[in-house]
Structure 1
Amino acid sequence: MPILLGQLLGIRDGDDPVFWGRLRATQLFAGRRLAPFVLAANLFGGVAVVALFGDRVPALWLAGWFAGLTVVAAVVALRRLRTAHLAEGAASLQDLRDTALEGLALATMWSFPPLVFAALTPGSTFNLWMILAVLMAAAALAMAPLVLAALAFIGGVTFAAALLLALEQQWLAAGATLALGGLMAATCLARARVLLALRAFEMNLSDSHETVSLLLGEFEDSGADWLWETDSQRRLCKVTPRLAHALGSTPERLEGMPVLQALAGASWETGDFAPALRLLADKLKRREAFRDLSLPLVVNGEQRWWEITANPRLDDRGQYVGFRGVGSDVTEQRASADKINRMARFDALTGLPNRLFVNEALGRALAEAERWGTRAAFMMIDLDRFKAVNDTLGHPIGDRLLGRVSERLAELITDNELIGRLGGDEFAVVMNDATDASRVERLAQRIIETLSRPYEVDQHTLYIGASVGVATSPRDGRTAETLVRSADLALYRSKDAGGGVFHAYEPQLHVDAEERRVLEMALRKALEKGELHLDYQPVVDAGSERLVGFEALLRWNSPEHGPISPAKFIPIAEETRLIGPIGEWVVRTACAEAAGWPEDVRVAVNVSPEQLHNPNFASVVAKSLSASGLAPHRLELEVTESVFMREATGAVQALERMLELGVRLSLDDFGTGYSSLGYLSRTRFSTIKIDRSFVTSASRGVPEALAIIRAVVALANSLGMATTAEGVETADELALTRMLGCSKIQGYHFGRPLPVAEARAIALHTKTAIRAA
């Protein structure tokens, strides 16, 4: 450890204040032991000076000086002797600095002889110089631990002696005196540094010894650790009581017993050894050191786990004489590790393997399939309509439902499959052997059928379903990551098909997914780049064929991908939550355009269910009407029946707020979904729109389509609503819809969706009926 000059002198502290405090205490204590020597040296020197100047200097002067020297030297000695308490304690920097005053006091007393007495007796210079030289040497020897005191004394005496010689013009002698003083000071510093370094080493060694002693004491006091030893025949020797207790026996019974027999217990007779015990036997036979070898033992009928470490022992001649090692009982630690491992790999809610475990199992299945030239399969399962349960009945009911789902799934699997929960309402199945494709399909179908049966949870009868995506190696992926991605794409296709079905992965799904990803990235920037625009399709009165409004239709013309169908990008916008800002732009733009049309021309805007589930949608509409100046009754919002499938999210309340603003509502595509008269009774719609598929079928004379249109028209008339027939493209279809009683007509017969400029021209200049071109 390097010792700096400032630390040696006590001017600055070290990195470890506690350690350096103890080190300074040893300096002071070393000075205490040499204090009598310093006192004796000063007194003997004083006697020599009195003898030298006794007949030439007034006796009173000599007596006074010697008395003063005796008092100062005695006080210094007493101060040093009072530091006995610092033997094993600590000293501050100030304690060490105060010793400089002692050195200065002694140096002051010794400056009198050369500067006062020698001036009266010029012939005594050499003898006095010899006395002072001896004193400086004594100080360098005895006061070295107290460096500041020694340097103050040596420096003061050296200066006084050199000054005496200079006054007598003995320049060479004066220079030699200064050189001697410097040499004495350097010697003092070197000796002090060595003494301090040695003491620091001793202190470190002592601390290390205490640490080792403490650790050994703790080891000996620990009931879970013990020492063990064998002879050259692998028999236990020097058996400690602790080892005997750990084995449930006594030292007398274990002494001389083969160590393998002692560890094997009852299995020694049957030869049914654990693999770890066989490994231990091999290590002992080969005389190889080992570390942290885990061994299962049965002690007093209880399963225990040990970890043992040992090295071969050699005698003075290098001959093998056995093994010596240490053992620990790690049963509790192993149980904790097993519990943590289970928590890390099993789902806390259902008890099924979690995503980590499933991925590990899939990796092992793929490795085995590649090894034996077979196939492995991976299924992803997503529950249908599960979110509605959480939204309506709460998460506790949803959690219990997931528990029932996991129980049903566990009943379906065999040793060939592993089922786990990926998170939320997603589950997965790993099939180790999927060579039989029909077996994979049967399992997928059984999963759907089993999970679709009703559940009884807390007096609630719940109906959900399941969608499944299947991927098989090596065709659909050779790694766990690619197989999971393929199954996810297949599941996505099942969900798109309406749920309740399973699909196997096809390469086209990856192409579609990549196209979808590219379109999503482009759509995120389409609005700010001005790539979106609105076209307007005329809506006319069925009797007079007079223009009554336009339907605003969103269009996207991408510079990279060209015109993109709304059927492609609208679902992407809804899934990525981009429909919010896009829908707000549509409402704002349509209102601003319609504000410049005649007062009797309305504008209709399609509204996504995702927009109605946004609590800020009402304020968006209100701000758009206020900013544009458009009368609320001239704005008509078109919604589909799907908005009522998630009532818990507040769609009905959002529609009520629209009605309070004075906005008109239109029910689009009525009859194509889960049509219910309840939708019409709970919300005041102004118009019901009849889907073009019914119009087309009715024009071909399909009885069902004709009956549906008549029923819808009759229902609308009874409720005071208008009806709009969509997709009217021919004169015959126009005549038919008129005959069936539809109020308004929309379709190519009267106009395709038009750019804003053309629609504006028609709205401003057409005062009569609109005719097809």
Structure 2
Amino acid sequence: MDDGVTGQTTSQFAAPRIDARALLGLYDPADATDWAPIRAAQVNAAGRLVLLLLAANLLGTVLVATLFAGSVPSWQLGGWGAAVIATATVVTIRRLGARGRTERDVSLRDVQRTFVDGIALGLVWGAAPLLFGLRAEPAALLALSSVLAVLMAAAAIAMAALPLATLLFLALVGGASAATFVLRGFDTVAVTTVLFTVLLMAACFLRCRAVVVIRAGEIALAERDETVSLLLRETEEENTADWLWEIDAQRRVVRASPRFARSIGVDPGTINGKGFLEILAGPTWEGGNFAAGLRDLADKLKAREAFRDLLLPVYVDGVERWWEMSASPRFLEDRGFVGFRGVGSDVTEQRASADKINRMARYDTLTGLPNRLQIYETLGRAMQEADKWGSRCAFMMIDLDRFKAVNDTLGHPVGDRLLGRVSERLKTLMSDNEMIGRLGGDEFAVVVRDATDSAALERLAHRIIGTLSAPYDVDQHTLFIGASVGLAVGPRDGRTPEMLIRSADLALYRSKDAGGGVFHAYEPQLHLRAEERRVLEMALRGALEKNQLHLAYQPVVNAGTGTLTGFEALLRWTHPELGSISPGKFIPLAEEARLIAPIGEWVLRTACEEAASWNNQVRIAVNVSAEQLHNPGYVAIVANALASSGLRADRLELEVTESVFMREGTGATQTLEKLLDLGIRLSLDDFGTGYSSLGYLSRTRFSSIKIDRSFVQGASKGVKEALAIIRAVVALAQSLGMATTAEGVETEDEHRLVQLLGCNKVQGFYFGRPLPVEEARALATDRAAESRAA
């Protein structure tokens, strides 16, 4: 480049070569390297760690005083301690005073003055082993050497930026320690001390050299940036997106770049000399309604601080544009501060793209609601405000009831449109105090910023449930779903967003567990229940391998004769520590934890093997989960269980519930048909407690329908609805050629009633509780004897 423009621009730090004598501060080399900024970096680096050095000195003094208290005259120990503390304090004050100095006010003499610090500290600490160690016990001498070793290591860290001062300190302390060991006859320890001291000195020198190399690289980078800026100023091309700007100490534009003038929409010939901030503020200058970015820029210019990538809005011809500004202050040796020089870019398009990406990252694409990330951020801010003002915020989790059935029966496109309708209804319920968002799937969440009114929270929850439970018309389908809500209030129910979300989730789980369509607030015992479920799940995962599961067999008898016709295999779990666990607890847990498939297969095989040893007229009934039937390989599992046990297929009855048919397209119906082709029998369990659709009965060849015990007990008490339901089910079964089994028969009156109503088979405590395998086997043997006698 022309020297008349830039002068010599070759960086002397392109490949740094560090003179060791200059590094130590012994002289200022007469080469092209400017050592002033390097010396400033050394002084500032030493000042940043001087408090660590002071702490090490104070702690070491206390340890030595404690170590030799009683064995050394107190005046001698106190005088030495006072000398150490005084010296360390003076050094600290000197170093703190030197922090922040620039290359213009750090000379070679300033660095050389630090030699005195190292010598002074070395002398007071080197005196310790000579004063106290020559007469000390070996153990005390060893402890003293340990303290000195730690102190030397701390000095090597804190004082390394000023190497000669540190080397002098290490040499004096290490030399005094080694001399003491020699005088005491510990030559080996003396050699070790010398080696340790030499290693610390080498590490100190290398660390200082690293500081110098880093600073040299920074200087080279600064020179390169200055050169590039000047090159850009002289050789700007018409299509370049960036432009240069420069202002004087009074913040007036000087030597304006033509592109800068065109970017702001003014004549390049008239922009010089105008106020920089006034030009950028445009029409907002008179009113004083400045953007935050412009205020930040003004603060940086006032403080004479360099800045980078500062974003601010600028109005050009009435249109808002976004600029990104970077600049550094300029100083001259004879004039001091002369202004700023920087570069600007129009980043309007990039900002628009970034805003779009940011929106995509924080909003749900299906519903347009805030997504999980923005919900979490909003909740975090609400909790901060609540903590700041001593108020409360709240978090609601909303889960749609029966939404899964819509997806499974009508398909995901209909389910997606339904979610859109749900989000529209939720938005109408929100005020400025709440934010609604979608967590994912069919889960939504509400952040309530001010939750001091607990009654308002409850009203909002009930409005959400009522609004979402109203029917929806989607693609010519009238859909009915509901909603369950869990509420947690912060900071009472959680001090962090994670804890509050967890508490709301537990409250929601309680609402779902209660059947859905309800609202529950968090209670502390919910954590205990969750922990109990966790412990139970962990135990259940090993129950099968540890032989903790077993089967009980409940008799099923002919309603008219009381003759045994079969058994229902019932799963039981006895834990060595938790005892007997109710199936009502662990069966749903097994389904949620995806453990029902291996457990169900074990039940099937065990029941078939046992039934194969009974009388040929006695059947075995096994309950089958919907999850098992959705497995395409379940038919092969059943066939294998029959083949390995030798049980006839017509003696096996699989009991299924209506939930099997709630997921269309999963192949459950085809699986049942294939099972029927094997020759087994099917029974529809708990009929009347669910949807009770006649379509299930027409599509699948059931051999029997089981009437739930709740209807049997209701009928025995004269409940008209229960009597009517039993009569209807019996009539339906008879018309379809199916048998009926009444469950839960516990008294003679209930037996006579269901017999009178036309039920074919009964089971319940009146005819026998679930029996252990030995008793069931004996009962089956008696049935065989009765058959032979007949």
* TM-score, with length taken from structure 2: 0.68
Match 1:310 to one of 327, 339, 343: 327
Q: Confirm or deny: 8 A CA contact 2:615 2:784 kept in the other structure.
A: no
For structure 1, the residue ranges without an aligned partner over 5 or more in a row are 3-203
Query: What are the equivalent positions in structure 2 for 1:150-165 lying under 5 Å apart?
Result: none
> 1:257-297 CA deviation, whole Å, 9 max, x = no partner?
11122111122222222233233333333434333332211
Matched, 1:585 2:597: no
Aligned to 1:605: 622
Shift of 1:727: 1.9
Residue 366 of structure 1 pairs with residue 383 of structure 2: yes
Q: Tell me the alpha carbon deviations over residues 159-200 of structure 1, each in whole angstroms, 9 at most, x when there is no partner.
A: xxxxxxxxxxxxxxxxxxxxxxxxxxxxxxxxxxxxxxxxxx
The CA deviation string for residues 641-699 of structure 1, in whole angstroms up to 9 with x for no partner, is: 33233343333322222221111111222222222333323222222222222222333
Q: 2:672 aligns with which of 642, 645, 655?
A: 655
User: SS of 1:648's equivalent?
Assistant: coil
Q: Aligned to 2:537, what secondary structure does the other structure show?
A: helix
Listed one character per residue, the Cα deviations across residues 421-456 of structure 1 (whole Å, up to 9, x for unaligned) are: 111111111000111112112211222222222333
CA distance in structure 2 between the aligned counterparts of 1:397 and 1:430, rounded to whole angstroms: 28
Q: Read off the aligned partner of 1:552 and give its amino acid letter.
A: A
What amino acid does structure 1 have at the position aligned with 2:236? E
% identical aligned pairs: 71
Q: Secondary structure at the match of 1:294?
A: strand
2:485 aligns with: 468
What corresponds to 1:401 in structure 2? 418
Q: 2:729 maps to which residue?
A: 712
Summarize deviations over 1:18-51 as a string: whole Å, max 9, x none: xxxxxxxxxxxxxxxxxxxxxxxxxxxxxxxxxx
Structure 1 counterpart of 2:712: 695
Q: Which moved more, 1:755-764 or 1:395-404?
A: 395-404
Q: Which residue, out of 289, 299, 319, partners 1:282? A: 299
Partner of 2:259: 242
Which residue in 2 is equivalent to 1:297? 314
2:646 aligns to what? 629
Equivalent position amino acid for 1:544 in 2: T
Matched, 1:412 2:429: yes
Counterpart of 2:739 in structure 1 is 722
1:638 to 648, 655, 679: 655
Are the structure 2 counterparts of residues 563 and 245 from structure 1 closer, same or farther at C-alpha, using a change threshold of 3 Å? same
The answer on whether the counterparts of 2:549 and 2:574 sit within 8 Å (CA) in structure 1 is yes
Residue 554 of structure 2 contacts residue 763 of structure 2 at CA under 8 Å; is this kept in 1?
yes
1:70-219 aligned at under 5 Å gives the runs 216=232
Aligned residues: 567
Match of 1:113 in 2: none
Equivalent positions of 1:430-441 (< 5 A) are 430-441=447-458
**Aligned partners of 2:399 and 2:483 also within 8 Å:** yes
Which residue of 2 is the match for residue 230 of structure 1?
247
Amino acid at match of 1:220: E
TM superposition shift of 1:248: 0.9
Q: Partner amino acid for 1:271?
A: G
Deviations for 1:135-173, whole angstroms, at most 9, x for unmatched residues?
xxxxxxxxxxxxxxxxxxxxxxxxxxxxxxxxxxxxxxx
Instruction: Tell me which amino acid in the other structure corresponds to 2:326.
Output: T
Partner of 2:47: none
Kept in 2: contact 1:547–1:769 (CA 8 A) = no
Which stretch of the first structure deviates more once superposed, 420-429 or 491-500? 491-500
Letter in 1 for 2:676: L
For 2:781, the equivalent position in structure 1 comes to: 764
Show the counterpart of 1:566: 583
- Distance (whole Å) between structure 1 residues aligned to residue 363 and residue 727 of structure 2: 58
Secondary structure of 2:722 counterpart:
helix
The residue type paired with residue 310 of structure 1 is A
Q: Could you tell me which residue of structure 2 aligns to residue 454 of structure 1?
A: 471
**C-alpha distance in 2, partners of 1:625/1:767?**
21
Residues 549-583 of structure 1 deviation map (CA, whole Å, 9 limit, x = unaligned): 11110111112311111000000111122111111
CA contact (8 A) 1:636 1:666 kept: yes
Is contact 2:615–2:783 with CA below 8 Å preserved after alignment?
Answer: no
Q: Does 1:220 align with 2:236?
A: yes
Matching residue within 372, 375, 380 for 1:355: 372
CA distance in 2, matches of 1:536, 1:617: 23
Deviation at 1:535, TM superposition (A): 0.8
2:234 and 2:445 mapped to 1: Cα distance? 50
Alpha-carbon separation, structure 2, partners of 1:317 and 1:672: 95
Q: CA deviation at 1:349?
A: 1.8
Deviates more, 1:216-225 or 1:455-464: 216-225
The equivalent of 2:439 in structure 1 is 422
Distance 1:210 1:309 in 2: 13
Name the aligned partner's letter for residue 371 of structure 2.
N
Distance in 2, Cα, partners of 1:212 & 1:263: 25
CA 1:231–1:540 in 2, change beyond 3 Å: closer, same or farther?
closer
The verdict on how the C-alpha distance between 1:622 and 1:214 changes in structure 2, with shifts beyond 3 A counting, is: farther
Shift of 1:635: 0.6
- In structure 2, the CA distance between the partners of 1:719 and 1:227, relative to structure 1 (3 Å rule), is closer
Give CA-to-partner distance per residue, 1:569-617, whole Å, 9 cap, x none. 0001111221111111111111111111111111111111222222222
Q: Secondary structure at the match of 2:741?
A: strand
Matching residue of 1:47: none
Gaps of 5+ in 2: 1-15, 18-219
CA contact (8 A) 1:229 1:239 kept: yes
Q: Which residue of 2 aligns with 1:510?
A: 527
- Retained in 2: the 8 A contact 1:545–1:769? no
CA distance in 2, matches of 1:282, 1:700: 85
**2:3 aligned partner:** none
Decide whether aligned partners of structure 1 residues 318 and 689 sit closer, same or farther in structure 2, where only a CA change above 3 A counts: same
CA distance in 2, matches of 1:664, 1:559: 36
The one-letter code of the counterpart of 1:429 is V
1: CA distance, partners of 2:564 / 2:225 = 103
Q: Shift of residue 769 of structure 1?
A: 7.1
CA RMSD of aligned residues (A): 2.6
Aligned 8 A contact 1:219 1:225 in 2: no
User: Which residue of 728, 746, 770 corresponds with 1:753?
Assistant: 770
Query: Residue 492 of structure 2: SS of its match in structure 1?
Result: coil
Specify the code of the residue in structure 1 equivalent to 2:714. Answer: S
Q: Which residue identity is paired with 1:293?
A: L
**Is 1:595 aligned to 2:649, yes or no?**
no
Q: Who wins on radius of gyration, i.e. which is larger?
A: 1
For the Cα contact (< 8 Å) 1:546–1:768, is it kept in 2? no
1:218 to partner: Cα distance: 10
The alpha carbon displacement at 1:214 in A equals 11
Match status 1:679 vs 2:696: yes
1:331 aligns with 2:319: no
Q: Residue 313 of structure 2 aligns to which amino acid in structure 1?
A: P
2:337 — aligned with what?
A: 320
For residues 713 and 319 of structure 1, the distance between their equivalents in structure 2, rounded to whole angstroms, comes to 104
Match of 1:375 in 2: 392
